[in-house]
Amino acid sequence: MSSSDVAISVSNLSKRYEIYDTPSDRLKQFVLPRLQRQAKHYFREFWALQNVSFEVKKGETVGIIGRNGSGKSTLLQIICGTLSPTSGSIRTNGRIAALLELGSGFNPEFTGRENVYLNAAVLGLGKDEIDRRFDEIAAFADIGMFIDQPVKTYSSGMYVRLAFSVIAHVDADILVVDEALSVGDAVFNQKCMRFIRAFQEHGTLLFVSHDMGAIQNLCKSALWLGHGQVQQTGTSKDVAEAYLHYTLQEVYGDKVKLSSTSAGDGPAHASELQVEDKPVLAIDYGSKLTITDNSPNATGWKTGAAEIVSLSLEKLGPGSEASFEGGEKVCVIIRAKAHGMLESPILGFVLRDRLGQDMFGENTLSSTAIRPRKVMPGQEFIGEFVFRLPMLPNGQYAVMASVADGDQYDNVQHHYMHDAFIVNVSSSKIRFGLVGIPFERVALEVCDD
């Protein structure tokens, strides 16, 4: 890859902080080492980042995930130039605009208008350019008369509105967005996402979030930071699944051990299954779905206390079992087996689109809350879910299935299967949106004056 194709290049980046137990230790560190032959340190080292290396190509969207304290914010601040690394190097190619921690870059004593001019100037715009764009910035932020009030009087949502409005109007080549968007209201978040989608067509985006669905939706690839080090890089789907496994193990602690389940020797992994680029549409645009059993290749984890034996989707009405049209009554059947005592077993599934967004799903908690059931070691148990199959847009969908023990707030996932089976939609009634409904009448009438 030539250097002109790279937007961000990070090589062996490390950042060390000095932690002092008392103010006097800080004073000693400032004075005494200069007087000592063998300098003594009066601090403890904390490495926020250690030997982090990666590259981001121009026009690429990369997600960064990790627990709080993993080094994400430190990395972003170094990329943006507000922090200096202890060692290593970083090169960026283009103007960077960032929405980091709430209120960063704002002077709380300045008004919103003054902060717009201050931030835009820092990002490289001249006063004449800011003058020309100010009305657009103010309209995007939509905070009314508060634009001329000190930002120390702003709510967190108003902070974000104004900060995002500035970075959306500075013609950045690289956009860095941290979790700050999570405090915005739904209407403004939709406006921000529309801007981000448009920006992705020509710019480079670093997107930090704890929402794995958003990471898979927006990002082609992802980087997982843990304890200041790169734990994994790869497709956003693979990294998100590995991170989910890790975080659940952290929650469970020594209570249970999650062992990874690898893909089997089947013909293809779920990520390799493809839908034809140009499916043949039926004359009536009816939705045609076919199901591919992918359970031999499904990844995930097990604890050994229970496992899913089989998973199927069955049609409850007339017609071929080989395909589904959408709108008919169907039943998802999950069969599982207990290897240990399950006090409150739970079976469930979720259907996700190719970007990892949860389309729909259900579990048996609503049933067991009314009629609690225990499962003894060696017993099999079945979950049945009867519903009307929705009509889905063209594409490929994956069904996740799991067996757990517990309740809504405290449970252990004993067997979790990604991509247990694949749903291929080769034609659709869907014209707009993520799901479709059968309209009984669509008409245009012209009324006489």
pTM for the model stands at: 0.76
Phi, psi of 241 (to 5 degrees): -65, -40
Distance CA 132, CA 158 (A): 22
| All domains in the chain, ordered by first residue | 3-238 (3.40.50.300), 263-268+280-427 (2.70.50.60)
Q: Write out the chain's pLDDT in tens, 449 residues.
A: 566 789 999 999 999 998 888 888 888 888 877 777 767 788 888 999 999 999 999 999 999 999 988 999 899 989 988 889 999 999 999 989 888 765 567 888 999 999 999 988 888 888 999 999 999 999 988 888 999 999 899 888 888 888 888 988 988 899 998 876 666 566 677 778 888 888 999 999 999 888 888 888 889 899 999 999 999 999 998 999 999 999 888 888 877 888 887 655 443 333 333 333 433 333 344 557 788 888 888 888 999 999 999 998 888 877 666 677 777 888 999 999 999 999 999 999 999 887 677 889 999 988 877 788 899 999 999 999 999 888 888 778 889 999 999 988 888 999 999 888 888 887 666 666 777 766 677 767 888 75
User: In terms of C-beta density within 10 A (0-12 exposed, 13-18 middle, 19 or more buried), how is residue 20 classed?
Assistant: middle
CA-wise closest residue to 337 among 283, 393, 414, 276? 414
Which residues are CB-contacts of 28 (< 8 A; sequence separation ≥ 6)?
42
CA-wise closest residue to 228 among 84, 52, 17? 52
